[in-house]
Structure 1
Amino acid sequence: MYQPQWLRSFATLADVGSFTETADRLGITQAAVSQHIRHLEQTLGPLMLRSKRPLELTPAGQALLIYCQEIDRADQRLTLRLSEAEVTCGEISVITPGSIGLQIYPLLLALQQQHPDLVMRHRFAPDSEVMDAVLHNRFEMGMVTQKPDDRRLSATRFAEEPLELVAPAGAQAASWQDLEALGYIDHPDGQAMATRLLSRRFPGNPGVRNLPLRGFSNQISLILEPVARGLGFTVIPRYARLAFARPETIQVIESEIGLVDTIWLIHRAEWPLSSRAKLALAWLQERLG
């Protein structure tokens, strides 16, 4: 690692081409500038041709100048990321399960369209991966369907999301026999979701594992595709259903007996959310109601 003042002297010298002007700009002596360059050259070799006017960089000097520029850009990004004043600049990072992610990502892009200096970084992941990513600072905030009990995580209610029984448009799905006739479209959380909802709607049923399995998809955006083609029914969170592109091909089987999950917003408890994250959350909550 090179001393920052050495690199500052070199980058300024490469810019202005004069030891004297470099010393004046940095408020140090010309001898100090020469000493900084000598320290660098002891490790890197000749950095410039002093006989040329203006000074000409050697290949090693060109490589060091690029290095100095990269450090400068990294310093700017760090300052921007830590600056609470720059609410509409910098990265907003959030990791979520698939259903709520389908709903919020387009909304975050709409916020970025209003503030092009924002950068949205979003990832789909199950609850366990969401918590791990937030704990290890890979994402500033996350959303989960189960409230974590880890004291390092702050968890607040973000939204409520009903589970829905979704069948092909026009299909009968009022009884357990209707569901058996349709067959079940499974997904990674499907067994748990279907068991929780169907046990309430059809008490004493033999269980979702006894239904004919008509298909499986681990892509949240594709789970409803076989349902839309009349191949079976599924149980899925509402936000996933709302994101489906062909709502006319499916139907929600309504019932007075429902089941609502809470979506929890999590972040590291030791420090507050950035101003950019707070802006994004206010934007999302206003539009999600």
Structure 2
Amino acid sequence: MLNPQWLRSFATLAEQGSFTRAAERLDLTQAAVSQHVQRLEERLGPLLIRRPRQFELTPAGRALIDYCAEVGAADQRLQQRLSEADAEQGEIGLISPGSIGLALYPQLLALQQAHPGLSIRHRFAPDREVLEAVLDNRFELGLVTLKPDDPRLSVSRFAEEPLELVAPAGEPVRDWADLERLGFIDHPDGQAMAGRLLSRRFPGAPGVRSLPCHGFTNQIGLILEPVARGLGFTVIPRYARLAFSRPEAIQVIDGAPPVVDTLWLLHRAEWPLTARAQLLLRRIRRHFSTSEGEAV
């Protein structure tokens, strides 16, 4: 069996791309990291092609990195299984899109206040990154907007979230000309979301790309700030709108037909959820089933 410290040194070296940075990250000397790599190469053959100030992994080196990832995942599964019965101690990892994340975060903080032994790790990420993080065992729970088809995942319906056309408070929005007058506040998913909603609300209109763009931000919590200041309109998911701190400065322009996305909860199917994760899910499912009824 390969020495775990040698594996940690090699994986950190591959991640950092430098013996100096790897040694700093591991709190070791460069000589120690070099020695660990040398010991591995004595067992496995050449792992690195060394060049001035850089190196390249050989095929054996890339295979060893995959092995390191498998060992890390196995270690995490062991830790989860050994501690899964304790619902009030330990870490819970949850990764989600930004809109639902804004609504989730206060609930996660409230749960941690009620159970100080818990450590809740939450990350905002797009669907692709959520899938990768759950499959790689870096997060126990994930939420996505597109239902995945992967036998390694357990997938269940979590909530529904309509897209909303949001304009400055008091601004009349009756037709396409009003949208042209206001201008569009864009965001990373803005063109796609606006295209889906506006094509239904205004059939036959030129489309969102024809509208003047009056701003862009990639921060989910800031998208509605320029709208509140009268700089334009946007299309965002409902939970992002509900989390905005100045609801009096904006308005939702109602209309039909609606565009509603389903949010899917996923976790690895091969092993049971920890008691901590089950505790978290009970709380947030209860909250979102209530808030959905209130928001519609």
Please report the TM-score for the alignment, with normalisation by the length of structure 2. Answer: 0.70
Q: Indicate if the aligned counterparts of 2:97 and 2:127 stay in contact, CA closer than 8 A.
A: yes
Asked if 1:240 is matched to 2:202, the reply is no
Shift of 1:168: 0.3
State the Cα deviation string for residues 84-107 of structure 1 (Å, max 9, x = none): 331111111100010000001110
Shift of 1:151: 2.0
* Residue in structure 2 matched with residue 162 of structure 1 by the alignment: 162
d(CA) in 2 for partners of 1:117, 1:111: 10
d(CA) in 1 for partners of 2:124, 2:133: 11
User: 2:112 corresponds to which letter in structure 1?
Assistant: Q
* Residue in structure 2 matched with residue 221 of structure 1 by the alignment: 221
d(CA) in 1 for partners of 2:286, 2:153: 24
SS in 1 for 2:85: coil
* Residue in structure 1 matched with residue 70 of structure 2 by the alignment: none
Q: Indicate if the aligned counterparts of 1:130 and 1:144 stay in contact, CA closer than 8 A.
A: yes
Shift of 1:108: 0.8
d(CA) in 1 for partners of 2:85, 2:252: 45
* Residue in structure 1 matched with residue 231 of structure 2 by the alignment: 231
Q: Indicate if the aligned counterparts of 1:200 and 1:257 stay in contact, CA closer than 8 A.
A: yes
Asked if 1:261 is matched to 2:261, the reply is yes
* Residue in structure 2 matched with residue 71 of structure 1 by the alignment: none
Please report the TM-score for the alignment, with normalisation by the length of structure 1. Answer: 0.72
Asked if 1:138 is matched to 2:138, the reply is yes
**Please, which moves more after superposition, 121-130 or 81-90?**
81-90
SS in 1 for 2:167: strand
Q: Indicate if the aligned counterparts of 1:80 and 1:86 stay in contact, CA closer than 8 A.
A: no
SS in 1 for 2:263: strand
Q: Indicate if the aligned counterparts of 1:80 and 1:89 stay in contact, CA closer than 8 A.
A: no
* Residue in structure 2 matched with residue 284 of structure 1 by the alignment: 284
Shift of 1:83: 2.3
* Residue in structure 2 matched with residue 84 of structure 1 by the alignment: 84
**Residues 124-203 of structure 1 mapped to structure 2, 5 A cutoff:** 124-203=124-203
Q: Indicate if the aligned counterparts of 2:104 and 2:284 stay in contact, CA closer than 8 A.
A: yes
**Please, which moves more after superposition, 152-161 or 208-217?**
152-161
d(CA) in 2 for partners of 1:148, 1:187: 24
Identity of aligned residues (%): 70
State the Cα deviation string for residues 238-262 of structure 1 (Å, max 9, x = none): 0000111111110000113211110
SS in 2 for 1:236: strand
Change (3 A) 1:153 1:277: same
RMSD: 1.8
Q: Indicate if the aligned counterparts of 2:127 and 2:146 stay in contact, CA closer than 8 A.
A: yes
Change (3 A) 1:221 1:81: farther
Q: Indicate if the aligned counterparts of 1:81 and 1:90 stay in contact, CA closer than 8 A.
A: no
Q: Indicate if the aligned counterparts of 1:81 and 1:91 stay in contact, CA closer than 8 A.
A: no
Change (3 A) 1:193 1:110: same
Runs of 4+ off more than 2 Å = 78-85
Q: Indicate if the aligned counterparts of 2:85 and 2:274 stay in contact, CA closer than 8 A.
A: no
d(CA) in 1 for partners of 2:282, 2:213: 41
Larger Rg, first or second structure (1 or 2): 1
Number of paired residues?
A: 216
Unpaired segments ≥5 residues, structure 2: 5-74, 290-296
Asked if 1:115 is matched to 2:115, the reply is yes
